[in-house]
Amino acid sequence: MGYMDEIEKQVIEVLYNVNWLLESHDSSAELIGIKGNKVTIRCIGYCAKCESACVQVAFKERMPDIDLILQ
């Protein structure tokens, strides 16, 4: 398994864990792309305008070395 495969696996795991929380707010987060250590995520629904930063916190805790880009 390559480095990118490992990052993608971790990203998908974080998204899976955070999306069950977001669903209660009619929201979700999805992977747009991975380029090097830059991970682009799109937040959909109420979460897209929320200031609680739960998606950022989830990634910071699990993957502190990535550069998270939210759309």
Q: How confident is the model at residue 51 (pLDDT cuts 50, 70, 90)?
A: confident
- Number of folded domains that form the chain: 1
Residue 69 contacts by C-beta under 8 Å, 6 or more apart in sequence? 38, 39, 40, 41
Q: Of all residues in the chain, what percent carry a pLDDT higher than 70?
A: 94
CATH (domain of 41): 3.30.300.130
% helix, strand, coil for the chain, step of 5: 50, 25, 20
pTM: 0.87
Residue 7 confidence (pLDDT) above 60: yes
Residue-wise pLDDT tens digits, 15-24: 999 999 899 8
Give residue 11's domain range. 3-70
Residue-wise pLDDT tens digits, 56-66: 999 999 999 99
